[in-house]
Structure formats: structure tokens, C-alpha cells
Structure 1
């Protein structure tokens, strides 16, 4: 594997795994501060990701590390200053992107790959994204895929060019996310970088599941079915919202009559990520059943939440990324990670087939730039 990566804001390693699946990348170091995510990371990769990327100790360790690509699924935060001209020491320490930018400045990786929520391009009226692009392009001197300069020499881009949806990459989940890829202009030179494509992949040409029904595991355990009282509450809430002209409320994503159903975005918080992804899965003996953890009996409509396994399939962790050559799936959680944490970790992660496609695009760029011999 010719290229090495570091995995920042690593979660449970979805970005890292997508890059590894290409066969061209191997990871050297990771940083994650959520202790449960670190447990899963250790369990999956045999590496301790429990590092704080904002600490000088971690940055100093990276200074000594020779690596090629910085990966980060950083949080979306507001900046109080326009840009980093005053120097990193004067920036708000709470803004994770500033720490990532400082690491880029200190270590000069060949390339950078960043992932965030789709709202990043609109956040703070577009100011947050504007600062990020300005920082990468003009402060750090990296070529960002999707960015041009107009005749006045000003940055020119369309925010939509950075948003890609998981549903176009073989997974039945409506999950738009912002992706940023950049190459070191200082290393490659402006002329060489003109030779790489200036648009991230929009889709791939294969799919894991034709639709959501192919992914779902029907006849789930009773504990996943909704209590009748809670379902009634959700029904009344949606009716009230619809009367106000709002589209809020629960969704049964595979209701009979929906052709090729697709899940809504799953969320780290669980909550509405579950309620917007209810499943119609009727089976005998469920209606009226008493489950100790629920206040009322199970509903008679056959409605349940998705299981953690189904969320794992919606992100490509289960039934894809950890399959061996014999088709055996090696993904699992450590025993200390509760179902609540499993939902959170999947919801907070990335859709691995999207990342894999982005990583393949990066490999092609490296090939054009002469880092990989033409086959």
C-alpha cells in the first residue's frame, strides 16, 4: 500500500476503512475523544484512537510522522473571525477545523479529505464554508477539488459541487453530506494540478441493495416494535404538524405502495433518526405483547424502529466493509458498547461505499500526478 493516512475525528473509522478498501492506503495514527467510539475502534482495528487532536502533544507526534493523506470527519462549528491570517495561535481553540488546519500547515500531507454535514456549505450564511475554502486554498496553498478562480483572481465555487448523497452510491439512504478533497500545491505545482479532474464523483455504477426492502431484516425481535402509546403520540404529533402545513413527524419508510423505498438520514442522536425511519414489519404474536422496557403494549400496526444491524448496513459497515474473501462478515461491536451507543456510532459515521469511491478518485489523481505508475 503506497500511501499512508492519519484518521482525525475518527469515530469508528468509517473514512479510514473506505480508503483501505481501495488497497492503496494504510493508516498510521488516529484521534478520537469519545470513549465508546474508541472502544469500537480498538475492537475493529486493534489500534488506540484515544488521542486529542487539539493537544500539542498529539501535534508534536504528527510532526515526527511521515504520512501522505489527512482524513477527518470534523464537526461543523461557527468561526468568529474571517480566515486565519492572524495566525493559528490567535484563533478560537474551540474550532476543530483550526486545529486540523494547523496540523496541515505543520505536516504538509500530499492530500486532505474532509467530511461534514451537508449544511456546512450554508452554515452561518455560507461564511463557515467560505473560511474553510479560503484557508485551504489561500492560507495553506492546497488545490481544492471543485474550486476555481475568476478573472479577478477571486475564489469561485458552487456549494452544491461539494455535496454528495449516499443514495447515489449504492446504499438506500437519503444522506447528503459535504466532502472536501485537496492536494498540496506546494508539492505538486499549479500546472500539474490542472491535469486532475476538478469535480468529485457524483455517483458510482454499482449498488449493494436495490432498495431498502432488500436491506431490511424482517421479523425483528419484539423489543424493536413500538409501544402502542408511543406510536399514538407520534401519530397525533404528525397530524398537528400537518395542520400547520409542516412536513414534520414520523415516517414509515417502506410503507406498502412505495416503490423502491429509501431510508431517511440516520442520526447520531438516534431520536428523530429512528422516528423518521420506522419500518412496516408485521408478524403474528407481536400486537398486544408486553415488553418490560415499554410503558404500553406493542402496537397492532406492525411498526418498529430499525435495528442497529440495519443502521450498520445503511452505512456499509455490516455486510460490506468487513467481509473477507469467503464472504464472512467480521464486523462486530465490543460487549461494552450498548445498543444506544451502537445507534449513535453508526449515525455519527460515514457511508463507507461513498468514501471508497472518493478514495478511488484520489488514487486516480495521484496516478495523474505521477505518484503511482500507470498500469
Structure 2
């Protein structure tokens, strides 16, 4: 019985820590911890206090959100780190990142230079789930690849299993599911386009919920949130959160300002108050002339084309066309194709001038990124990255209401582990 207690504690620790971290805490090497975990050698009873201390200190470090809270998370389909930034604002520690796009990885590394201590891998599809480090929260803005539930009825008739490995295999959601299954984080946050709800007449979303709730056993909540509460952009995205246990989580706890900011708040300022950013210099804005660089103004040919295109569709009774934006506007949704013609958000420059695109710095602001965020890639790549990103303040607000429940779950499990240890010695 004495050997069972430290082994149980070791299993709890491995749900939150890497073998390297456990080895460092108990003063052993990684190979030894690995042998304990595989059952090749017994985990010594003398390590029980050290393992319990590791788990207890971890729970106590949770604290309160916004007050130096410490929790570990992983960042899947990371893009340029918008979801990550929202959770770091509440004291989170990113321990693993996955992003396959080289240009996005370049921007990510530029803005998170301290990540040399943890893995930043490319494609998650081929990465073994067991090698993902332990974490408390899984974050993922997974791309919605269409997948079919065709064949489930046939498997039922044949008496064959059809868990998430069958219903979502071949999609990127499967990789989220297999990591949750293997690592069992206390919570997760997944983000996607609003249309995920209606894709394939709702069947796609039903499979996702079935996987998270029934197959993986998580308490799941979802809501569509519009970014315009925080930035001057109409951008609706579905956010799915889940917890490994019962909670009192409620979307009603979100603080969503009724009157959000307007476009003028994120545009380059021509009154001399535009900050001089050493990482931008005059790339987007000429501080000497106090003007946005001329290259962002549409060419005569492009402006004529967009006007003719809009008129053509108006005549046909369609709503297609460019979106003119003014300082008091809330813009359309910024898309990854913005680099092509900028048509969804054209900034009005008066009757005497043709409209212009937003600059990449203004796009960063439109997505809620601070001016400290660096843009090391070309304008084309920057437009794609911000168009594919999240409204960061939305993520920060969702993190705020999630984390107290995460900390409560972790504290309960730590107390439960201590009680189990005591009962083993009774």
C-alpha cells in the first residue's frame, strides 16, 4: 500500500507537469521518472512529501485571476498568439505552441522571444499527444475543416465503435480531441467562425459537442461573441469552453460594453500625437508629414474597378460591394483576403482623395493588439495574419471568467489527492 500512494501522486503530477519538471522538483533525472511512470521501478515512498508539495504549491499559485494567478496552458493553431495574449494577461504560462505557417511563426517568435524554453512545433497532426507537456488549459483556434458523420449509422448497425476517432478523424478538431483525451486538462477554450454552428445543417457542431461532452466527459458551454464590444469591428465568433468537472460557469458573467469604440480610435493620428514606434519607424505612417504612407491609398484603377463592381451588383439586386468606413464607424469583418483590394474596409479620406486601406498597424489595433506588438512580415502576410486572428480583448475577457473555475477544479483535485493518500496509510 505504501508504494501506491506516491504512484498515485505521480500520476496526478503528470497531468500538470512534464517529466523534466517533476525530476527537477524531486531531485532525480528524467529517465528515473520515466521508469516510475511505466512501472519498471517502484516510485519510492520517501518522495511522497515532495510530490504532494509540488501539487499543493501548484494549486496555491493559482490565486485569483488578475492577481498574479499562475496556470499552465498550451496554444494550438496559435496563429500570431491572440488567444495566448488574452490568457497571459491573467498570469498564464504558455508551455507549448503549435503553428504550421512559417510566416505566422515568424511573427509569433518576434513577439514571444522567451519561448526558447518550450516547444514551438509546426504541424500538430503528426505530433504524439503523450509528448505534449502537462497543462491546465488547452487553447485552440482550430480551423473548421468540413467532416462528415456519414457512416456512423452503418457502424451502429455493425456493432462497431464510432467514438471521436472515427467521427472526426481526418480533421484538425480530431487533434484537439486526442490531446484533451491524453492530457485531460482542467479546461479548454476553442474558437471558430460563427458558421460552425450551421455547417452541414448543424451536424458538424453536433459531432463536436458529442465528442467533447459524451466521449471526453467535459462540461461544455458555448456562445457567439461579437468583437465590436471591444474594438470597432463587427466580428462574430463562436467560443466553446469546457471544464473537467461540474462548475457554476455562466456566460452572464461576461462584461460586454454596450457602446464600443469607433474606427477613429484606432486610426493613425494626424494631429501630431501618433506614437513613434521604433519597430515601425515610418513604415506605415510618415511622422514628418503626419500622413499615412501614400501606398495605402487605392490606385485610380482599383478605385474605379471597385466602384463599377459595386454598381454592377447593385443593379442586379445584390448586396456585394465595398465597405466605406468613417471615424464614427464600426467596420465590417477584417478578412484574410484584405491584402487583395481592401474592399471590406475602405477608410474615407474626403471627397478630394480616394479611400485607402487600413495599414497593418491599424489592423493590429482593430484586432485589439497593443502597439508593442511587432509586425516583422510583409504587408500581405500581416493582412492575412490579422484577418485570421482573434479579437484579443474578447479572449482576455473570456479568460477572466474562466479562470476562477479552473483554479477551483485544480484545488479540489489537490485536496482529493491528499485525502486519498491519507486513506492509503490509514
Contact 1:172/1:314, CA 8 A, preserved across alignment = yes
> Which secondary structure does the structure 2 equivalent of 1:164 belong to?
strand
CA deviations over 1:20-55 (Å, ceiling 9, x no partner):
0122x1100000100111111111112363332111
Q: Take 1:138 and 1:223, find their aligned partners in 2: how far apart are those partners?
A: 53
Confirm whether residue 79 of structure 1 aligns to residue 147 of structure 2: yes
Counterpart selection for 1:43 from 110, 134, 137: 110
Equivalent position of 1:183 in the other structure: 243
1:145 to partner: Cα distance = 1.7
Mind listing any 5+ residue stretches in structure 1 that lack a counterpart? 147-161, 186-191, 283-298, 320-328
Q: Take 1:242 and 1:50, find their aligned partners in 2: how far apart are those partners?
A: 47
Counterpart selection for 2:307 from 224, 235, 245: 235
Q: Take 1:237 and 1:312, find their aligned partners in 2: how far apart are those partners?
A: 28
Larger radius of gyration: 2
1:141 to partner: Cα distance = 0.4
Counterpart selection for 1:144 from 207, 213, 220: 220
Mind listing any 5+ residue stretches in structure 2 that lack a counterpart? 1-68, 156-160, 270-290, 413-426
Equivalent position of 2:263 in the other structure: 212
Contact 1:38/1:50, CA 8 A, preserved across alignment = no
1:103-114 pair list within 5 angstroms: 103-114=179-190
CA deviations over 1:174-207 (Å, ceiling 9, x no partner):
000010000013xxxxxx42xx133365543498
Q: Take 1:241 and 1:126, find their aligned partners in 2: how far apart are those partners?
A: 31
Q: Take 1:143 and 1:202, find their aligned partners in 2: how far apart are those partners?
A: 18
CA deviations over 1:32-85 (Å, ceiling 9, x no partner):
100111111111112363332111x442311xx221000000011212226795
> Which secondary structure does the structure 2 equivalent of 1:316 belong to?
coil
Contact 1:35/1:50, CA 8 A, preserved across alignment = no
- Describe the shift of the 1:339–1:58 C-alpha distance in structure 2 as closer, same or farther (beyond 3 A): farther
Counterpart selection for 1:166 from 197, 216, 227: 227
1:160-309 pair list within 5 angstroms: 162-168=223-229, 170-185=230-245, 192-193=246-247, 196-199=248-251, 203-205=255-257, 210-217=261-268, 219-254=291-326, 260-271=328-339, 274-282=342-350, 300-309=352-361
Question: Across the two proteins, how many residue pairs are aligned to each other?
Answer: 311
Contact 2:167/2:207, CA 8 A, preserved across alignment = no
1:89 to partner: Cα distance = 4.9
Contact 1:228/1:300, CA 8 A, preserved across alignment = no
Q: Take 2:100 and 2:406, find their aligned partners in 1: how far apart are those partners?
A: 31
Q: Take 1:201 and 1:133, find their aligned partners in 2: how far apart are those partners?
A: 22
Confirm whether residue 345 of structure 1 aligns to residue 385 of structure 2: yes
1:86 to partner: Cα distance = 2.1
Q: Take 2:254 and 2:313, find their aligned partners in 1: how far apart are those partners?
A: 34
Confirm whether residue 22 of structure 1 aligns to residue 98 of structure 2: no
Q: Take 1:281 and 1:365, find their aligned partners in 2: how far apart are those partners?
A: 48
CA deviations over 1:342-362 (Å, ceiling 9, x no partner):
111111111110000000010
1:302 to partner: Cα distance = 3.3
Equivalent position of 1:54 in the other structure: 125
Q: Take 1:3 and 1:67, find their aligned partners in 2: how far apart are those partners?
A: 8
The structure with more helix, counted as a fraction of residues: 2
Equivalent position of 1:289 in the other structure: none
Q: Take 2:410 and 2:166, find their aligned partners in 1: how far apart are those partners?
A: 38
CA deviations over 1:150-181 (Å, ceiling 9, x no partner):
xxxxxxxxxxxx2100012x211100001000
Q: Take 2:252 and 2:411, find their aligned partners in 1: how far apart are those partners?
A: 19
Contact 1:200/1:361, CA 8 A, preserved across alignment = no
